[in-house]
A and B are shown apart, each in its own frame.
Chain A
Amino acid sequence: MEWETVIGLEIHVQLNTKSKIFSSALTKYGKKPNSQACAVDLGLPGVLPVLNIEAVNKAIRFGVSINAHINKCNIFDRKNYFYPDLPKGYQISQMDWPIVGKGKIEIILGNQTKVIGITRAHLEEDAGKSIHDMFDDNTAIDLNRAGIPLLEIVSEPDISSAKEAVAYTKKVHTLVQYIDICDGNMQEGSFRFDVNISIRPKGQKELGIRTELKNINSFKFLERAINFEVKRQKDVLEDSEKVVQETRLYDSVKNETRSMRLKEETNDYRYFPDPDLLPVEISNELLEKVKQTLPELPDQKKIRFVTELGLSEYDADVLISQKSLADYFEVMLENNIVNAKLCANWVMGELSAALNKYQINIQNSPITAQSLSLLISRISDDTISVKTAKDVFKYMWDSKNSADEIIRVKGLKQMTNMVEIEVIIEQVIANSTLQVSQFKLGNNKILGFFIGKIMKLTSGKVNPKQVNKLLRKKLL
């Protein structure tokens, strides 16, 4: 039987505010356990939550960037459940009136575009962390993360493969960094997913029974987990058994999903409006202000790179995929807009390769955008050849000296004195009578021999194009 996969995703985006969503405690990652959990975060009696305006602004920024409906009046609810890393016994979240309503995100797969519907995005507080393997006889609780603002972005079940899920999550990951609402750090859990997966016979309208995979924090694991789970569900259904609706854990070491074997009970969170928090009003004024401060979005940047700079779609996609990469490229263009294509090639080629090799972030690149831009200018104004430029790049990487400094000290400048070049060419021709006669018999390939000789004599400091032209003239 042919099956069809249906996937819905919940993305948890940690908002990069300085203080927590309902308290004035610090939100830094990696601090001493519980050192930034204040009385509000601990849920001590008598405390009152007070909403952080930046969490609201950042949620609106996301909504506006995907053209979503913004609920002018939105409400916080209590989601009740018991777990030791949730000291209040409820999580403050939004149920019926989330801040961001329906919107959509377009993804590209090969030559095809597909629209993924966004159901909603709501604000909530993160829970603390339970550490089960630190002590033998107890579970350890760190509440530093409790109260960090989260924006939970819920998609429609419009995703139909692991590849689409990865394209969608990558697109959101890029977007939240562009609009500066999240640092995007997946190792630190700033961006993580819950995936709902079901399959149904192709063409059937009714949805199959779904399972949920929680807390996945890498694109690679997302793809593998979905592929595993889809295959598992197929095997179950093809054996005429039933898929059990449950939460499953993805084990990245064994590459499998397994039931968390919790006693199945209905997810009854008994939501009700939080009496501690009044409704939040989003004024037209605030909405306008956020719209006006929205930076250029990745899709807009891509269109500009293609139409104004003449880059290929592929190049534009690579450059916009990370904000830091696009930023670097754009600084290069400040003095070098005519060489946009050449700049793009160098960022994606030499620079990316070197950064990758030494595992360095582009923000910490030993070669700044301005210095790389200068090197590109020295190629385009014929001071050095591309081949020499690659050597200069290596020197720049190691020494942090400017391209001009290196070209001067190492004497790498191309020869521009035509008379000098002609003398060398004539000298090579005079010493290669055999090759000259071969050329005259129609062997064009022999030109390479001459150019090689000339390059050697000039230590590669001549422009190959120029030499080629002169050489042909002299040989004929």
Chain B
Amino acid sequence: MSLSENQVSQIAHLACLSLNEAELKDNTQNLNAISSLVEQLANIETDSVEPMSHPLHMFQRLREDVVSEKEQLALFQSIAPEIRNGYYLVPTVIK
């Protein structure tokens, strides 16, 4: 499978990345190199292997439903670019 520049540009758009023409070419080439590496896997016989979602053969440990977080609003907001009245501010989304 090889990716076209159009597809890479679409992926970049979905990831909110702006790529100039040189970067687009570069990224397409790099991604195709990676995908051809992954393609080697297609040669392996996997019919008898169950699909897995995680490389570890383990199940998740669950947490008890207990509140243990203390409020640290001031600390978290001290690293935010812009705050007002306790809100985080971002550029206007809807006009």
Contacts and interface: CB of A to CB of B under 8 A. Distances in A.
A134 interface: yes
A135 B90 CA distance: 11
Contacts of A270: 14
Contacts of B16: 82
A139 B91 contact: yes
Nearest to A136: B92
B76 A56 contact: no
B76 A52 contact: no
Contacts, number: 127
Interface string A12-50: 000001110001111000001111111100101000001
The residue in A34, A52, A53, A56 that gathers the most chain B C-beta atoms within 10 A of its C-beta is A34
A138 interface: yes
A432 to B, nearest CB: 75
Contacts of A277: 60
Interface string B50-83: 0001101011111111111101110011000010
A34 B91 contact: no
A132 interface: yes
Interface stretch (A191-199, A235-243, A278-286): A278-286
B42 interface: no
A35 B54 contact: no
Interface stretch (A63-71, A140-148, A335-343, A397-405): A140-148
Chain B at the A interface: SS class: loop
Contact of B87 (A23, A33, A82): A33
A214 to B, nearest CB: 14
A27 to B, nearest CB: 8
A143 B67 CA distance: 17
Contact of B76 (A37, A73, A273): A37
A470 interface: no
B93 interface: yes
Interface residues of B, number: 36
B84 A138 contact: yes
A24 B63 contact: yes
A300 B82 CA distance: 54
A18 B91 CA distance: 33
Interface residues of A, number: 53
A420 interface: no
Instruction: Output the residue of A17, A24, A26, A275 with the most chain B CB within 10 A.
Output: A24
A19 B88 contact: no
A84 interface: yes
B90 A75 contact: no
Nearest to B93: A139
A270 B87 CA distance: 30
A132 B89 CA distance: 10
Given A23-B69, A51-B62, A53-B64, A141 B53 contact: no
A80 B77 CA distance: 25
Contact of A18 (B53, B67, B87): B67
16 contacts: A34-B73, A36-B71, A39-B76, A50-B61, A51-B63, A52-B62, A53-B62, A54-B65, A75-B53, A75-B54, A80-B15, A82-B15, A137-B92, A140-B84, A141-B90, A142-B87
Interface of B: 10, 14-16, 53-54, 56, 58-69, 71-73, 76-77, 82, 84-94
Given A32-B73, A53-B62, A138-B92, 7 more contacts: A25-B69, A33-B85, A36-B69, A52-B62, A135-B89, A138-B89, A139-B90
